[in-house]
Amino acid sequence: MLTRLKFTNFKSWAQADMPCGRVTGIFGTNSSGKTSLIQYLLLLKQTKDATDRNLTLALNGDLVNLGTIKDAIHRHDETVDIRGTVAFRLDNELSLTDASEKRSALVAKGDQLKVRTRTVIRNRAPSADGLRYFLNDADFWLKRKKPESSEFQLLAQVPSNNNNEFRFVRTPGRAWQLPGPVKSYAFPDQARTYFQNASFLADLEAAYEAALDHMYYLGPLREIPQRDYLWARSRPSDVGRRGEKAIDAILAATEAEEKRNLGKKTRLMPFQEMIAHWLR
């Protein structure tokens, strides 16, 4: 579950910090920045789903269209950076182990995941400039060795109650430079190649991706109903991103006389009756 959303220099927000609960209401006047909060989450989800790993931020796609990075950054100021933090409470406790030991050693565990990113603008495009993962009190991050260097370093800080001896160990003979983050939230593949005990970084990324996968966008809810809907006798597998295939799905199910029920040993109902039940 999303527990906190925090970012700087995105759209109308110079700074935003929003604690989240099981139900979080966002209220405000027109043009007060409500939509920008949702768009930031959609940007994270869209970036995760992007097939191009060279994209730092997927600004335009099925979920949201933000234009260029200059359009998306606060006051169109390309000299500032976008810093973001998202925190989740995981459904299950995540355990990270050091597989390089003779017996796999526990590095960290917990159910509080926090991901912190930093994006700058270089050559009029977003560029990942830093990445940090927190699992409860354990901390793993990727940062530049020097402000203008293209080489990054991989660091860790693990509390003593877990394993205060942990540090990332270079694989012998692998002295090549470590590149920066991938898609703003992922460690580069080289991190797991150049360091013999960094394989658990993939578990952190997978937990973050799974948390985003559990976020569903049900909007926008401003689609104007059409006077006529033309059905080409298609049978869609879903109702579409904006519900635009809902009529096709209802008509196809009606023609096929499909029925559903609310549980075992309950009455079967026509598809339209089932929809009416849930609408009520």
**DSSP category for residue 80:** S
- The domain total for the chain is 2
The reply to whether 103 and 232 lie within a common domain is no
The reply to whether 111 and 197 lie within a common domain is yes
With tokens 């405000």, the residue in question is 28
The reply to whether 181 and 116 lie within a common domain is yes
Q: How far is 82 from 278, CA to CA, in rounded Å?
A: 41
The reply to whether 228 and 276 lie within a common domain is yes
**Global pTM value:** 0.79
The reply to whether 187 and 228 lie within a common domain is no
Among 190, 213, 236, which residue terminates a domain? 213
**The pLDDT of residue 161:** 59
**The pLDDT of residue 85:** 98
**The pLDDT of residue 216:** 87
> What are the CB-based long-range contacts (under 8 Å, 24+) for 247-256?
250/275
The reply to whether 231 and 171 lie within a common domain is no
The reply to whether 11 and 128 lie within a common domain is yes
The reply to whether 227 and 252 lie within a common domain is yes
The reply to whether 34 and 130 lie within a common domain is yes
Among 155, 189, 213, which residue terminates a domain? 213
Q: Which tokens hold the place of 110?
A: 């917990």
**The pLDDT of residue 102:** 63
The reply to whether 63 and 176 lie within a common domain is yes
Q: In a structure prediction context, what are the per-residue pLDDT tens digits for the chain, which is 280 residues long?
A: 999 999 999 999 999 999 999 999 999 998 899 999 999 999 999 999 999 999 999 999 989 999 999 999 999 999 999 999 999 999 999 999 987 766 678 999 999 999 999 999 999 999 999 999 999 999 999 999 988 888 999 999 998 755 557 889 998 886 789 999 999 999 999 999 999 999 999 999 999 999 999 998 877 655 677 788 888 888 888 887 777 888 898 999 999 999 989 888 899 999 889 888 988 8
Among 157, 180, 213, which residue terminates a domain? 213
Q: How far is 25 from 19, CA to CA, in rounded Å?
A: 11
The reply to whether 134 and 10 lie within a common domain is yes
Domain that holds residue 185: 2-213
Strand ranges (E), the chain? 2-10, 13-19, 82-98, 105-122, 125-135, 138-144, 152-157, 259-260, 269-270
% of the chain with per-residue pLDDT over 90: 69
Helices and strands, counts by H and E, the chain: 7, 9
The reply to whether 169 and 245 lie within a common domain is no
